[in-house]
Amino acid sequence: MALMITDECINCDVCEPECPNQAISMGETVYVIDPARCTECVGHFGEPQCVQVCPVECIPVNPAHVETREQLQRKYELLQAPSAAAAGSTA
């Protein structure tokens, strides 16, 4: 499942730098999470880092993007593939 940021977001700027997948960016009024990049930190951490640092608890699971832990792991692996390929080409 990807996460989402609700309208309760206060734009405190603490979640964006915590995301290891660069899935969080500023939207029109509040921060947004790109479900194609969100792995809920699977592959990086045991818990979603944005949820851990959010002072207003406005980052629930996005019901429109339900994924299993295995699917999140696969998404993590696919997101890492371009950087691994780039690192290999510079060696």
The residue extents of the domains of the chain are 16-89
Prediction pTM value: 0.86
CA distance 66 to 48: 15
How buried is residue 18: exposed, middle or buried, by Cβ count under 10 Å (0-12/13-18/19+)? middle
Residues 40-66 pLDDT 10s: 999 999 999 999 999 999 999 999 999
Is residue 89 predicted with pLDDT exceeding 60?
no
Does domain 16-89 bear CATH number 3.30.70.20? yes
Q: Which residue has the tokens 């997101």?
A: 79
Is residue 82 predicted with pLDDT exceeding 90?
no
Residues 3-43 pLDDT 10s: 999 999 999 999 999 999 999 999 999 999 999 999 999 99
